[in-house]
Every structure is written in structure tokens, then in C-alpha cells.
């Protein structure tokens, strides 16, 4: 590449948890279901690092036969970046252990509430940073609530009560479309192709509020007694699976989820009657019987004949029954689709999500760094040139791979400078190590790697004695069995 040549409405239950208030990184608003041409471009580069490396290290792409050294440097950089993220993963795994719903290991340490609060904060913030580095974008829960207030694709009124959650993170990556087919009257019941907007990747993290905390919130907002508030809180939790308990942090990663089906990934999605369903079930369905029934009712009023009343009542009951069955059938169809989505579109849960996200974050970093290095190592550049270089890289990706992205140049430059591969002088000139020298530089950093590893000695919690250890893990096994 040559930089010079390539110059809502939602109800009170839809409370947005504080964990979604991300400073300096705007949440996605209502445009999460907008057409692609109306959406902001993503940082995500939908090309593998291997394909990118092949293109960037073609023999004619580097002067003086440096292509081989450049390829070796990119391989070194790949290993180095994954190793650095591996250290972050070890720290996250240790912090996550008290909150993991899947662990089959003994918990040997006990923690105070203050320690757990601190660990929870570090855990959520760590995941948020990894998601950002993996080029995921956050979704504002109020946007989800706005989608749910509209008629869903299944003709149902869907509701997610965000007030139950102490922590909620919703992120996506790769908003695109896929082709689907359906039969339409316009085509005389022949199949017609249409586009379905999807999220190629959708991430969800949630943690329930402790029951007593939710009870106090209800008491304050509804001005009712503790007993009544507890009854309301228990009713709200009735839509949650029994396996979901307040002490755990749950993480889910999905693939190819339709944007309009985002509510399916939540554990407490409630299918409610729409207004029309209520009208039908409360007697409005009588109108569907038409004129003959009205005439029969008139005769019934005039003659008070029980033999006339019986078929009339049967007709009324049939109309109400058909309305109820229509709702049940739509709900069942929705539940089947939801089960298929959660089964066939699920990629990972909990600790497995962390491992996948760490790998993807490292891959996105490496792709960005290879692209920027390929420009800076070939020509002299100044900080004033960065905007032109950014545009050049975006044009290169579009002309080479047909992808339209918002390249995150500043983030890539910060990492290259932090590792000493690029330096800046007082005039703003950027100096980049040549490929062979860059290889030797990473080799030298690798030699002192073990000396600079962070200290993983636990500074929180206390080792439990044998009796408490048995009691705590016995309780945990009981909870897992009951779930």
C-alpha cells in the first residue's frame, strides 16, 4: 500500500443498568435494525489474519527483497500478541472463578462481600475491554426495549424485564444480512427471497440482582410493604430458569442471530398477550360470529328459549377458543424458533466465551497492526499524515477484499509504539523498525517475558478450613444438581 497514492418508548421495567453506560464509546441506538447503508461502519475487519498476511507479504509488495522478513515479523507479532492476551486471560479466569456457574472445581477460598463487589467490577470491565479490542460494538438496552415494543415477526408482544439485572452487557460484531425464503400471496404462495438483517456475533453478559435488593427497590418505587414487594419480586423471577441464580455471572455468545430476534438471547423473555388478543379473549371475539349469531341472540332475548341459547353459547365459546388457540399457536411457533436459535446459533457459554473473545481480540489487533506497519515501514510518515494513511488503508481493504470498514488507526499505532516497534520524535516524525530488526526486537522482548509476568498470588479472600470447605462445596454441588 502507498499512502501517498491512496490518499423509545419503553415501560418502567426497562431500566438501563449502569454497566451499559460506557464513557467514550457510544452505545448503538435504534439503528441496530436499520439498513446497512444507514449504519456507521464497524472497526471489525472480516478477513482472516492469514489471508491478510498473504496479501501484505507478496514479493512485489516490499522493496529490496524484504517480503520474507516481513512475513516472519508478522508471524512473530501474531505469537507475541496472543501471548500478551493469554496473560490477560489468566487474570480474568482467576477473577471469574467465584462467579462461574459451570466450574467443576473446588472453591478453596472465601470472599467478603466487598471483595466480591471489587472482583465483579474488574471482571465486567475486563470483559468490556476485551470486547472493544475484538471490535465488538455495545447495544443500548433501551434500544432492545424499543424493538420489543413493536410487533415482532411472530405477531407476539415480547417483554424483557431489565430491572432484574445487576449487570448487563450486550455487544455485537458484524451486522450484515442473509438470504431467506417465504411463501407470499403476492407470488401466489410461491417462495420469495428476502434479506434478513443479522448479527454475525452477539454477546450477552448478565448477573441477577440479589432478591433482597430487588425487594427494597420495589418497596421504594411502589410504596408497599416488604411482604408485598417480596411477592412481586418472586413473581418477576418466575420467568427465569431455575438454574439462573443471583451469585453467578453468565456469558453467552451467539452467531447469525436475526437483529429483530435479539430478545431471544435473554433468560427472562416473556410472551404477553397483545391488546387484540385480550379483546378477542375477553369477548370481542363474539363479533367474529357475524350476523347469524346476533340474530340468534335477539331471538334468545325475545323468546328466552334454552334450545336457542345452547347453540349461541357454543358459538361464542368457539370464537373465544379459536382466539386463544391462535395465540397459543403463535407462541408455540415462537418458542420453537427460539429453541432452534439457542441450539444451532450458540457458540460458547461463560468461561468458553472468554477464551473465544481473547483469541478474537488478539486476531483483530494483529490485523490492524500488520496493515499499519505495512505503510509505516515503507515510507517516512509524520503524525500529520495519519488521516491520509487511515483513508489509504480503508481504500486498500475495499479494493482488495471488497469490505468497507472504519479502520482504527490510533489503537493500532498505540500498540506498535508501546512495544517499541514505532517511535515518534519531537517533530512528530514516526520511525518504524525494518522487518528484520523488528523480528530481533520481538525476540528480545520474548527473552525477558517470564521476568515481567504479573503476580498471580491471590490478594483477595481467605483459605477455608476443611469443615467449611466441605460445607461450601457440598452446597454448591446441591445447587448444581437441583438446577
> What's the pTM value of the predicted model, to 2 decimals?
0.79
Is the pLDDT reported for residue 321 higher than 90?
Answer: no
Radius of gyration of the chain (CA): 29
For residue 469, give the C-alpha cell. 470447605
CB-neighbour burial class of residue 42 (10 A; exposed 0-12, middle 13-18, buried 19+): buried
With H, G, I as helix, E, B as strand and everything else as coil, classify residue 461: coil
Q: What is the pLDDT of residue 323?
A: 61
Least confident of 24-28, 54-58, 175-179, 255-259: 24-28
Q: Taking residues 166-174, what's their average pLDDT?
A: 94
Per-residue DSSP letters for 197-249? EEEEEEEEEEEEPPHHHHHHHHHHHHT--HHHHHHHHHHHGGGS-TT--TT--
Cα–Cα distance, 410 to 413 (Å, whole number): 5
Q: Of 11-15, 252-256, 296-300, which range is least confident?
A: 11-15
Predicted local distance difference test score (pLDDT) of residue 202: 94
Q: Given this model, what pLDDT does residue 165 score?
A: 94
Q: Any idea which of 38-42, 105-109, 293-297, 337-341 has the lowest mean pLDDT?
A: 293-297
Confidence band of 68 (pLDDT split at 50, 70, 90) = very high
Quote the mean pLDDT of the chain. Answer: 80
pLDDT at 291 over 60: no
Enumerate the H helices of 282-433 as residue ranges: 291-303, 306-344, 351-376, 386-401, 409-418
Residue pair 70/435 in contact (Cβ under 8 Å)? The answer is: yes
CB atoms closer than 10 angstroms to residue 99: 20
- 109-123, 237-251, 361-375: range with highest mean pLDDT: 361-375
End-to-end Cα, the chain, rounded Å: 56
Q: Which of 90 and 470 is assigned the larger pLDDT? A: 90
* Residues 345-355: tens digit of each pLDDT: 889 999 999 99
The mean pLDDT value for 143-158 works out to 61
pLDDT value for 433 = 98
To which H or E segment does residue 171 belong? strand 165-184
CB 162 within 8 A of CB 269: no
**Which whole number is the average pLDDT over 453-480?**
66
Reading phi first (left if > 0) and then psi (alpha if -120 to 50, else beta), residue 73 is in alpha
Residue 282 or 253, more confident: 253
Confidence of residue 278 (pLDDT cuts 50, 70, 90): low
Between CA 295 and CA 467 the distance in angstroms is 79
pLDDT of residue 230: 95
Say what percent of the chain tops pLDDT 70. Answer: 68
Write out pLDDT tens, residues 385-441: 999 999 999 999 999 999 999 999 999 999 999 999 999 999 999 999 999 999 999
pLDDT at residue 345, rounded to an integer: 85
pLDDT digits (tens, 9 = 90+) for 77-111: 999 999 999 999 999 999 999 999 988 877 788 89
Distance from C-alpha of 300 to C-alpha of 302, rounded to nearest angstrom: 5
Amino acid at each position: 500500500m502507498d499512502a501517498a497514492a491512496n490518499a423509545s418508548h419503553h415501560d418502567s421495567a426497562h431500566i438501563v443498568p449502569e454497566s451499559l453506560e460506557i464513557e467514550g464509546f457510544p452505545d448503538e441506538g435504534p439503528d441496530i435494525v436499520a439498513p446497512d447503508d444507514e449504519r456507521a461502519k464497524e472497526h471489525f475487519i472480516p478477513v482472516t489474519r492469514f489471508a491478510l498476511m498473504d496479501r501484505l507479504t507478496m514479493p512485489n509488495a516490499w522493496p529490496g527483497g524484504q517480503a520474507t522478513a516481513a512475513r516472519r515479523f508478522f508471524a512473530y507479532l501474531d505469537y507475541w500478541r496472543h501471548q500478551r492476551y493469554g496473560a490477560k486471560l489468566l487474570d480474568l479466569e482467576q477473577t471469574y472463578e467465584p462467579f462461574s456457574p459451570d466450574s467443576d472445581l473446588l472453591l478453596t477460598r472465601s470472599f467478603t462481600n466487598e471483595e466480591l463487589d471489587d472482583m465483579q467490577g474488574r471482571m465486567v470491565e475486563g470483559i468490556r475491554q476485551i470486547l472493544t479490542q475484538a471490535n465488538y460494538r455495545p447495544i443500548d438496552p433501551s434500544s432492545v426495549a424499543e424493538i420489543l415494543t413493536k410487533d415482532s415477526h411472530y405477531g407476539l408482544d415480547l417483554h424483557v424485564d431489565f430491572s432484574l439485572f445487576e449487570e448487563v452487557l450486550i455487544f455485537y460484531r458484524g451486522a450484515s444480512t442473509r438470504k431467506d425464503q417465504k411463501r407470499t400471496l403476492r407470488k401466489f404462495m410461491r417462495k420469495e427471497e428476502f434479506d434478513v438483517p443479522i448479527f454475525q456475533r452477539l454477546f450477552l453478559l448478565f448477573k441477577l440482582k440479589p432478591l433482597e435488593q430487588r425487594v427494597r427497590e420495589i418497596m421504594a418505587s411502589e410504596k408497599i410493604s416488604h411482604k408485598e414487594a417480596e411477592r412481586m419480586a418472586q413473581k418477576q423471577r418466575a420467568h427465569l430458569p431455575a438454574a439462573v441464580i443471583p451469585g453467578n455471572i453468565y456469558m453467552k455468545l451467539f452467531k447469525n442471530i436475526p437483529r429483530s430476534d435479539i430478545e431471544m438471547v435473554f433468560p427472562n423473555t416473556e410472551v404477553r398477550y397483545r391488546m387484540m388478543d385480550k379483546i378477542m379473549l375477553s369477548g370481542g371475539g363474539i363479533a367474529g360470529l357475524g350476523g347469524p349469531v346476533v340474530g340468534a341472540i335477539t331471538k334468545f332475548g325475545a323468546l328466552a328459549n334454552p334450545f336457542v341459547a345452547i347453540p349461541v353459547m357454543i358459538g361464542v365459546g368457539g370464537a373465544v377458543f379459536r382466539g386463544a388457540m391462535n395465540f397459543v399457536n403463535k407462541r408455540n411457533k415462537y418458542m420453537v424458533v427460539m429453541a432452534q436459535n439457542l441450539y444451532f446459533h450458540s457458540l460458547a457459554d461463560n468461561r468458553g466465551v472468554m477464551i473465544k473473545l481473547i483469541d478474537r481480540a488478539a486476531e483483530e489487533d494483529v490485523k490492524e497492526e500488520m496493515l499499519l506497519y505495512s505503510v509505516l515501514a515503507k515510507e517516512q510518515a509524520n503524525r500529520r499524515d495519519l488521516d491520509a494513511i487511515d483513508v489509504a488503508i480503508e481504500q486498500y481493504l475495499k479494493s482488495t477484499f471488497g469490505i468497507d470498514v472504519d479502520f482504527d488507526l490510533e489503537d493500532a499505532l498505540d500498540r506498535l509504539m508501546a512495544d517499541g516497534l514505532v517511535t515518534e520524535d519531537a517533530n512528530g516524525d514516526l520511525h518504524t523498525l525494518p522487518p528484520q530488526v523488528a523480528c530481533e526486537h520481538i525476540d528480545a522482548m520474548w527473552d525477558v517475558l517470564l521476568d515481567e509476568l504479573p503476580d498471580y498470588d491471590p490478594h483477595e479472600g481467605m483459605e477455608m478450613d476443611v469443615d467449611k470447605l466441605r460445607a461450601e462445596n457440598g452446597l454448591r454441588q446441591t445447587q448444581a444438581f437441583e438446577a
